[in-house]
Chains A and B, each alone.
Chain A
């Protein structure tokens, strides 16, 4: 008892924090590896469609994104609510798609060009008219590998329900 009391009187010894940098570095490396830099500032609202037969996109550097959807709240008074195309950081029209694909292709090396994939990230409510027009432009630009960006549904049955 006497011994215990003596210990209590003493101030708490400083906690050993020498392992703290190690822990932080571990976390840091995890995030560095897992991170994907947000390439563009999304100006259109994209609620991706759901699908089960989806494949992972390999080689991020070979993927070019085309966004389509209604302009997000911030831009609605300027651009309206009807679905629009976004390429890189700005709104675009259909005529810009071909030039965009060609300029993107220029940035890739010769042997990688056939592997280039166009990922269409469109909102599920966008009408197919717009998507078909984009697809026609892609065909004209000889960008034939495409990917319909979709989400794996949490509940597969939801896929068959009438809403969304």
Chain B
């Protein structure tokens, strides 16, 4: 009984800081702060039967982007700088040639796409194209769609598409995405120079 009444001696916490420092240094050394970011893409499934029968698409609804082994761009048979690509792609997607798209602001040219739903961007690169250039081109084409969606969201909902929350605004995002569906098709790379 007498023993129980004795106060428990206090634990010496003096070395606590040392232990914490040790752990801290361990984490400091092993840590890598880089957050992983990148362009999300979906590959087409590998199916040999599909390749043999491509669906027919009208020439005017295809926006061809070719990149050669010197990282030069040929867009719709015209030499372009990477800085002009986004604008050209936006003009093409938003063209509204058959007047069926009431939110489009395009010029309605007969040589460009019918409507955003039919517009397809076809991207083909050479085996000698650099990966950096390929990512830049992909980035510009995606940016063209994102910019159009942004404009649409701004006029329909008064908000920016890029700043929408994927959980809360799921329905709105879905609607915007069907208004400007992203259709980027990649052909097998050429092997000309490189």
Contacts and interface: CB of A to CB of B under 8 A. Distances in A.
Contacts of A142: 45-46
A146 interface: yes
A66 interface: no
B100 interface: no
Contacts of A126: 130-131
A124 B127 contact: no
B23 to A, nearest CB: 5
A128 B126 contact: yes
B41 A31 contact: no
B107 to A, nearest CB: 25
Consensus secondary structure, chain A interface: mixed
A144 B27 contact: no
Given A21-B16, A24-B21, A53 B130 contact: no
A144 B142 CA distance: 18
Contacts of B139: 51-53, 150, 159
A139 B44 contact: yes
Interface residues of B, number: 49
Interface stretch (A8-16, A86-94, A130-138): A130-138
A99 interface: no
Contacts of A136: 46
A131 B13 CA distance: 56
A2 interface: no
A102 to B, nearest CB: 14
Contact of B42 (A38, A56, A131, A145): A145
B136 A21 contact: no
23 contacts: A21-B16, A24-B20, A27-B24, A31-B31, A49-B131, A54-B39, A55-B38, A57-B36, A57-B38, A119-B38, A122-B131, A123-B131, A128-B126, A129-B128, A131-B131, A136-B46, A138-B43, A144-B44, A145-B40, A149-B37, A150-B37, A150-B39, A152-B37
